[in-house]
Chain A
């Protein structure tokens, strides 16, 4: 059944010609190239690597990176729409795009040297190279400032030791952006290439969520990288967190796509499925659920849209990203779960996409800033009092 987006408030009219063109092209690409094999990949726990060069060719990797650096040079709103359409297929694929674009290309573009940009950005935008972002550690997720990974300089080289965890793309990455604390306590960013001595990236297996996405541990035992691999313009932890704001921005949009996918599937289902001699859609309880979902999707769309416009104007604050990410992911998860109840037993099979989205969104709820941490960010913004520590 062809996908039909819920557009209750004529959201499309808020988008300009270029934004609509990109959305429609990506939507068609997702339907044709991504949707057919996604459930099988999810079940097997494999990433559909064949789509990486196709996404590169279409320009979906590095949407906001300027054209002269190999990106598409487009707006943040367009990047958001790309995330929305891709996550309509699967949060794991969107995670791949978020990491490549916001957590690898963005920091290389923003904090890297000219040589680093020239070497890596074209390869990353074409999909020839895959990147990952190593910040989180086994004991430091919500408080990355406590990281234990250390680095120190020896002549022209840096020596890095430590462990990273829950790193999307880690095992398959050609380049890992690894964050480490130097002897003066400053956080530095390094480009660690695949195959470096002392560097391994074992895959974290047995996940029941984001099964299409590769999640890895990064182990660094006295890994030596040249000074040329350090991101020279990094200014401490703030730079790492700046990347996360970019990624979270894309997630706020992506979650709308996942919610739309579930809603669309269920809307078809309730019209077809008959029980007690009438379609499921004719029951008041079903309609109440659908009305709530349609309202939440519409609110989430508008939140993402406004966030995009502020980002494109250069007036967006990271605490506003927190609100959009927090709200949109939570409602997407709640919608996915509610859709699962409407699908009944069908909802637990991979024949239907809703169950896959339920499982995926459980990750999205707590990664890139947990639901709770984002509440504290918003809390600080409205009270002026940070409540992160007791």
Chain B
């Protein structure tokens, strides 16, 4: 089974974010990590490869030169080969531009299965996986929590409002991975050493004209200070009024 999995370098979720030039993230002093949902995709790729008994995992990223660290982490977990579509402006690219760039690279390769994280935790657009699948004309199942592949048929489970949905599709197929699909492994120190000996190709990549422009980015407004309406039972009517009329949550 030939699997391509996709990763993105994102700011750590605990990092303190600052804005630069009014429309971009200031990367100075920010810790970057492998997008947590992409870890489910890598883990699933490794498990599916192991189950099929034979296969190859290419891990691909559209990113700046720094993204080599995240690709190496994927190699250390167990991917076979990595490809960085390098562009210094990639971190600011919108989902559609990223999808367009990835699609061109995927088209040039043979594959049975594409595995994406369901979203990146920086821009939260959820769009890259489905957009690549659409451009390639292959089925896409999103936010998958269980995946079985038998005789060229994919059977996937996804959580929907109040229940589960079970979907079948033929290979080749794209999957976006949701938490719960698996338990991503830690990269061992030996795996990290082995990753140094695996191929990581870097290809300078033109991203074309971005389809979306970020006009402005701002920090969330400061939360107003809390207000004490009174104490004990006597305060309840005032609280209900405030919740109903000011907060409009009742």
Contact = CB atoms under 8 A, between A and B. Distances in A.
Interface string A1-34: 0111101001010000110111011001100000
Interface string B188-206: 1111110010000000000
B14 A2 contact: yes
B28 to A, nearest CB: 8
A74 B190 CA distance: 9
A25 B186 contact: yes
B73 interface: yes
B13 interface: yes
B138 interface: no
B178 interface: no
B59 to A, nearest CB: 14
Contacts of B188: 25, 57-59, 72
B57 interface: no
A22 B72 CA distance: 11
Nearest to B16: A4
Given A7-B29, A17-B72, A25 B193 contact: no
Max chain B C-beta neighbours (<10 A), residue from A7, A17, A57, A73? A17
Given A2-B13, A12-B31, A72-B193, A21 B186 contact: no
A132 interface: no
Given A12-B31, A17-B69, A22 B14 contact: no
Interface in A57-105: 57-60, 63, 67, 72-74, 78
Interface string A204-222: 0000000000000000000
Interface residues of A, number: 26
A17 B71 CA distance: 11
A21 B192 contact: yes
Contacts of A74: 189, 192-193
A57 B189 CA distance: 9
Interface string A42-69: 0000000000000001111001000100
A21 B31 contact: no
Contacts of B192: 18, 21-22, 25, 72, 74
Contact of B68 (A12, A17, A28, A58): A17
A74 B187 CA distance: 14
B76 interface: yes
B29 A10 contact: yes
B33 interface: yes
Contacts of A72: 188-190, 192-193
Given A2-B13, A3-B14, A73-B193, A21 B29 contact: no
Contacts of A10: 28-29
Contacts of A78: 189
A22 B76 CA distance: 10
B189 A24 contact: no
Contacts of B189: 22, 58-60, 63, 72, 74, 78
B187 A21 contact: yes
Given A3-B14, A12-B31, A18-B196, A58 B69 contact: no
Nearest to A24: B33
Nearest to B76: A21
Contacts of B190: 59, 67, 72
A338 B188 CA distance: 36
Nearest to B191: A59
A29 B191 CA distance: 15
B72 A58 contact: no
A17 B187 CA distance: 14
Contacts of A4: 14-15
B184 to A, nearest CB: 9
Contacts of B186: 25, 28-29, 58
Given A3-B14, A57-B188, A21 B73 contact: yes
A105 B191 CA distance: 21
A186 to B, nearest CB: 37
Interface of B: 13-15, 28-29, 31, 33, 68-69, 72-73, 76, 186-193, 196
Given A4-B14, A21-B187, 17 more contacts: A2-B13, A4-B15, A17-B69, A18-B72, A22-B192, A25-B73, A25-B76, A25-B187, A25-B192, A29-B186, A59-B188, A59-B189, A63-B189, A72-B188, A72-B193, A73-B193, A78-B189
